[in-house]
Chain A
Amino acid sequence: MTALTLPRLTLSGELKAIGHRLLAVVVLCVVLSFLSGAFFTTGNILNVLRQAALIFLLASGLTLVILTAGLDLSVGANAGLSACLAASVMLATGSALLGAGVGIASGCVIGLGNGLLVTALRLPPFIATYGTLWVIHGLTYWFMAGATIHGFPPAFRALGSGYWLSVPIPVYLMFGFLALGIGFARYTTWGQEIYAIGANPVAARLSGIPVNRRLALVYTVSGAMAGLASLIFLARLNSAEGDIGEPLTLPAIAAVLIGGTSLFGGVGTVTGTLAGALILTLVLNGMNLLAIDANWQPLVTGTIVILAVALDVLTRGRAGANR
């Protein structure tokens, strides 16, 4: 097949590409440490990193989807159902490993379902995943029937609240999957094909890329990452309820968009998404420290989403495209 001419960025190149976003992270840190004495403490910084890790894991798979000019609105609901299934399996068997396996598998299955709706039924991605959002949501409520599951094995809880060398375990996962994401997107053929599909699906198909199979892959990966993120969320909350995944979707989408991945596909990086997750977490953390009511959070996240999309559209000069 024809070689794709995507610049193979080095790590320093990658950092340069998201330089102004890292600058924003630094500026936010400086401003917040002036506003609140509690900000620049080891405990709070680790807390921010742990929170960012959760959002990043959810958003990293979503980044791949958005790179193909798609969207996965079901990540939060997916994480919710996966967490509840994992929790009930763990409660029934007492095995952390089995529970984790079920959580990730459920994420994969839902992701694959999204992929099939988008490729086989040729539904617009946002409609398909918006539909699965509510279907999964309904299944989760039915499955939980208002119950709360708690009391997980300590080995599992370490996934969310444990430390290694005094750094939270989710942070290691965050950097691990960042490396994996960069490696996949930049240095594998499949990764480059994903960029190509997002940039121009027709050209991608004509140059021999199996577009439908790559799309199915991307939605499955997004589902799997939602499953993984759900485990970390579950381990930290140490309890599962029907609405556990609800507050996760908007932040994940916001992180990807702040990170500079274009909704129109073909442009963006997983590293940018990490910066986006950090920026969003810092804003929400700052609101917490300044004792702003948590009810304001969806409002602020929603505003950030709109601003990020506006920035995307205005800087890329894609005005006029309605979807």
Chain B
Amino acid sequence: MPNVTLALRGYGWGRIPGAAYMLAVLAVGFAASSNGFLNGANLANIGMQSTILLLLALPMTLIILTEGIDLSMGAVLTLACVMLAAIAVKTGSVALALAGALALGAAFGFANGALVAWLGLPSFVTTLGTLGIASGLALVMTNAQSITGLDDNVVFFYSGRLAGVPMPLLVGAAAYLCTHWLLYQTRFGTYVFALGGNREALRLAGVRTNAYLIGVYVFGGAMAGLAALLLTARMSAAHPTAAIGMEFDAIAAVAIGGTSFEKGNGWLFGTVLGVLLIGVLRNGLNLLAVASSLQVVAIGVLIIAALLIESFRGRV
């Protein structure tokens, strides 16, 4: 996998996060305790399910690198699903529906970014507020009912294949490569690290920090809009509370992946490991018939374990 070595070159082997070890331990553990875990179909399933989370966790990494957070992502994803399904059902056009979802996500991202950058509001309370707005809008728009009756051309984006590869895996790989390029190969990416590491220096160097900061949040919102296509396709419906709380998994993936909440310290591929770890954990616990409510508790424990490992290695 060439992009892995590329990612590692950008960061160095010395900083493999605890997630890699935990992933190995979990995979071996589940393979030993459950028959269904280690077969091709199940592993592909983990990859497909993880893609939706990956689409949130990638931009969340960038946002956290700027010392911000976006708690509204799950709610915006939910609202984007509602928007996408409503347009798809009414017009029958997937392109139009996706455009609507992307625009909606980007608009929420812009609102978050503008409040954080221009007004200097703390990101976590701002996005908590937009969380309320987005989840409220999703309920109001649907009257708390699900939207169903989607065409196969929407469902294709989750269960279809292109050249034999499941669509979600293609979308996920493309999203990772694009984000990787943005973060490590462009000026935008360099500024993302600097926004968290030393924003004042960046501003004094004449960079329009506010524009870049808003850009990070807009990127996050747009990715939530893209994730809406996969999530709606997966459920072949849009539920008004479909992805509420999914930002928790995304933040967990970023934290487990070894990105720090301070000073712009982080590693994009670590987030991929974190996403896989959560995917494997949820899948394995499902196979062991552990209630999904307890899976959240397990993720919480995982985060604390990851933070403890990092702090023992002396780099929190």
Contact = CB atoms under 8 A, between A and B. Distances in A.
Are chains A and B native binding partners rather than an unrelated pairing?
yes
A305 interface: yes
A192 interface: no
B12 interface: no
Given A124-B261, A138-B297, A306-B130, A299 B248 contact: no
* Residue of B68, B251, B261, B297 with highest tally of chain A CB at under 10 A: B297
B29 interface: no
A295 B241 CA distance: 12
Interface residues of A, number: 50
A116 to B, nearest CB: 11
Contacts of A91: none
Contacts, number: 140
A132 B139 contact: no
Contact of B128 (A138, A141, A253): A253
A323 B122 contact: yes
Nearest to B136: A299
Contacts of A306: 115, 121, 125-126, 129-130
Contact of A309 (B121, B251, B296, B303): B121
A142 interface: yes
Interface stretch (A157-165, A226-234, A312-320): A312-320
B5 to A, nearest CB: 31
B23 to A, nearest CB: 20
B290 to A, nearest CB: 9
A299 B67 contact: no
Contacts of A121: 304, 307-308, 311
A73 B245 CA distance: 13
A303 B128 CA distance: 10
A140 B296 CA distance: 11
Given A293-B140, A300-B136, A322-B67, A132 B300 contact: yes
Contacts of B297: 135, 138-139, 142
Interface in A257-307: 257, 263, 293, 295-306
Contacts of A257: 125
Contacts of B124: 71, 126, 130, 323
Contacts of A142: 291, 293-294, 297
B140 A295 contact: yes
A310 interface: yes
Interface string B107-123: 00000000110011111
Interface in A17-48: none
A168 B125 CA distance: 33
A147 interface: no
Contacts of A213: none
Contacts of B293: 137-142, 242
Contacts of B137: 299
Contact of B119 (A123, A141, A305, A319): A319
A73 B129 CA distance: 12
A301 B303 contact: no
Contacts of B177: none
Interface string B47-80: 0000000000000000000111101000000000
Given A121-B304, A250-B128, A302-B132, A134 B245 contact: yes
A253 B125 contact: yes
A6 interface: no
Interface string B267-301: 00000000000000000000000010111110110
B294 A122 contact: no
Given A124-B261, A137-B296, A302-B131, A295 B144 contact: yes
B129 A309 contact: yes
B7 interface: no
B39 interface: no
Contacts of B316: 122
Interface in B236-277: 245, 248, 251-252, 255, 261-262
A130 B71 contact: yes
A296 B136 contact: yes
Contacts of B126: 306, 309
Contact of B129 (A122, A145, A305): A305
A131 interface: yes
Nearest to A137: B296
B128 A305 contact: yes
B133 interface: yes
A302 to B, nearest CB: 2
B143 interface: yes
Nearest to A142: B293
B132 A250 contact: yes
A323 B115 CA distance: 12
A252 B91 CA distance: 41
Contacts of B71: 130
The 4 A-B pairs of least Cβ separation, nearest first, read A302-B132, A299-B136, A319-B120, A138-B296
18 contacts: A71-B124, A71-B125, A121-B311, A123-B261, A130-B124, A137-B296, A139-B293, A253-B125, A298-B132, A298-B139, A300-B136, A302-B130, A302-B131, A302-B133, A305-B125, A306-B125, A306-B130, A313-B119
Interface of B: 66-69, 71, 115-116, 119-126, 128-133, 135-137, 139-140, 143-144, 199, 245, 248, 251-252, 255, 261-262, 291, 293-297, 299-300, 303-304, 307-308, 311, 316
Given A126-B69, A263-B125, 5 more contacts: A253-B125, A257-B125, A298-B132, A309-B126, A323-B124
